[in-house]
Amino acid sequence: MKNSERQLFNIVLIHVARSWERVRLEQDFEEMPQDNLESLESIQDIATEIMDDKHIVMFLKSKENDYFITHTNEMSDSYIENLATKIIKQHYI
């Protein structure tokens, strides 16, 4: 993984973890189907899946600073967290 790609993966990973926690707090008894240790691997898997998203790939190739606003009408943080929440709710809840 190139340095900029690694940096972006780390950013995505943080947003996925934040999204995971928000979804957890919405659940009955604030629990997820996986405990904290099991969730680490799932969070990494979700981040890896998001790295394959077409807009993330294009952002890495693009020189546009405002790529996400131009192409998705969202800030990059919002885009990543919305995508993470969708994946979590579809595959883990």
- The CA distance from 51 to 48, in Å, is 5
Q: Residue 44's domain spans which residues? A: 3-91
Task: State the chain's maximal CA–CA distance in angstroms.
Answer: 45
Q: Cβ(84)–Cβ(20) under 8 Å? A: yes
Does the pTM surpass 0.85? The reply is yes
pLDDT digits (tens, 9 = 90+) for 12-43: 999 999 999 999 999 999 999 998 889 999 99
**How many domains is the chain partitioned into structurally?**
1
pLDDT digits (tens, 9 = 90+) for 34-88: 988 899 999 999 999 999 999 999 999 997 888 999 999 999 999 999 999 999 9
